[in-house]
Structure 1
Amino acid sequence: MADKIIENNQVSIMGRIASGFTFSHQVFGEGFYTLDLMVKRLSDSEDRIPLMISERLIDVTQDYEGEYIQVHGQFRSYNRHEEKKNRLVLSVFVRELSFVEEEDDSIKTNQIFLDGYICKPPVYRKTPLGREIADLLLAVNRPYGKSDYIPCICWGRNARYASAFTVGGHVLVWGRIQSREYIKKIGESETEKRIAYEVSVSKLEYME
């Protein structure tokens, strides 16, 4: 049952380790750590993608910065309470991990598939240059009654198509995980640079 449900959230990424391990939490004595992975885009820029890794998969006492890994897992979310409100925190929960010699151009370095449900009305807009964009928030079910809430961004024809989706609609999404820096205002004169994560959609299907 659990394996079947996990098919609705599949991530495969390859990239360069760009940080050390930071302890996150423990479940039944098993420690989980976060790690940043730099994943190349076709445009030669990079996305900085956070991983959540069990200490059972890798020796968390070692420094692997600069090494290349390929991981498979799920894109997960949880709400972190800060400044009197909840903030959606996203990371790739790693189920399989392997070290690779270096980036292999024949392998797609960043792929995600999600099977979920629209949980907020889509936000459709146009950029000043006329590019069409639609933002979706997808609820993807997990075993044991939990869900992950994944922001997705659609472009062009996909954005027009997605703008008509209704809340509760069943949607399949294919794309890649991307990171985006933004400036968060945290006081009258104070700002902070943050990174947002979302799925850049290359293909989507509305399942009715």
Structure 2
Amino acid sequence: MSEHSISSNAVTLVGKIIGEKTFSHEIYGEGFYIYTIEIPRLSESCDCLPVTISERLLVGLDLKAGDMVSVEGQLRSYNKFVNGNNKLVLTIFARDILKMGEEEVKNPNHIYLDGFICKQPVYRETPFGREITDLLLAVNRAYNKSDYIPCIAWGRNARFSSKLQVGDHVRTWGRIQSRQYQKKFNDGTAINKVAYEVSISKMEKVEEE
């Protein structure tokens, strides 16, 4: 993995493992597993985030539900074909994982992205008057790949990012959040689903030379 791809997409998480690991996939004889990590917010709620970990990183680590861990890696996306439709799936790909004690961590959920606007930003207001802009960021990865990361900006960042254009180069700092929502069908039924996105706390536009 190139240093540029690491420096343009960097995630640090500290949280508690919940539930059991599940097998994800295998590449060239290397197996990968998904753990769910619960990370507290400043409010009373938590974010529950999927982390993909190589079996090689797990050697010597007896990870189980309830363990506190520190993860460093990247937020990655891939397309999954479900019921005839392409679905964008997000996961944190771990480059390093360590067991931790219960000590307090100042910033347990942090992500930095350096990428490009790849879809026209959508500005809106909530029923309570909060300003939000939805963004889709393309972040380059090694081997001519890209990750497509949904982001949301609030307040003055929402107003600023609503004026951005497709192709604009931006840097963002924030946290990864999980959000539950209901998907309703034409027959009146509904299912509960979870979306993952980056909540931006700081951003800047990069002026190209």
1:169 aligns with 168
Q: How many aligned positions are there?
A: 207
Find the counterpart in structure 2 of residue 201 from structure 1. 200
**What secondary structure is seen at the aligned counterpart in 1 of 2:19?**
coil
Residue in 1 aligned with 2:5? Answer: 5
Residue 152 of structure 1 is matched in structure 2 by 151
SS at the partner of 1:42?
coil
Establish whether residue 109 from structure 1 lines up as the match of residue 108 from structure 2: yes
Partner Cα separation in structure 2 for residue 117 and residue 10 of structure 1: 16
Residues 106/61 of structure 1: CA separation in 2 closer, same or farther (3 Å cut): closer
Listed as ranges, the matches of 1:58-207 within 5 Å are 58-59=58-59, 64-102=64-102, 104-186=103-185, 188-207=187-206
Instruction: Tell me: CA distance 1:66–1:101, structure 2 relative to 1, closer, same or farther (3 Å).
Output: same
User: TM-score, normalised to structure 1's length?
Assistant: 0.95
Alignment check: 8 A CA contact 2:180 2:193 kept: yes
TM-superposed deviation, 1:187:
5.3
Quick check: 1:76–1:149 contact (8 Å CA) kept in 2? yes
**Aligned residue identity for 1:86:** N
Structure 1 stretches of 4+ moved >4 Å: 59-63
CA distance in 2, matches of 1:119, 1:133: 18
Q: Does structure 2 conserve the Cα–Cα contact (< 8 Å) formed by 1:32 and 1:54? A: yes
Output the CA distance in 2 between the equivalents of 1:40 and 1:120: 31
The answer for unaligned runs of 5 or more in structure 2 is none
Is contact 1:70–1:97 with CA below 8 Å preserved after alignment? Answer: yes
Q: CA deviation at 1:59?
A: 4.8
Distance in 2 separating the partners of 1:144 and 1:11: 20
Distance 1:74 1:63, change over 3 A: closer
Distance in 1, matches of 2:186 and 2:57, equals 41
Distance, in Å, in 1 between the alignment partners of 2:129 and 2:188 is 32
**Identity between Structure 1 and Structure 2 (%):** 51
Residues 1:13 and 1:122: Cα distance change in structure 2 (over 3 Å): same
Measured against aligned partners, the alpha-carbon deviations of 1:80-104 in whole angstroms (never above 9, x if no partner) come to 11122111110100001000011x3
Q: CA RMSD in A?
A: 1.6
Structure 1 stretches lacking a partner, 5+ long:
none
Aligned partner of 1:34 in structure 2 is 34
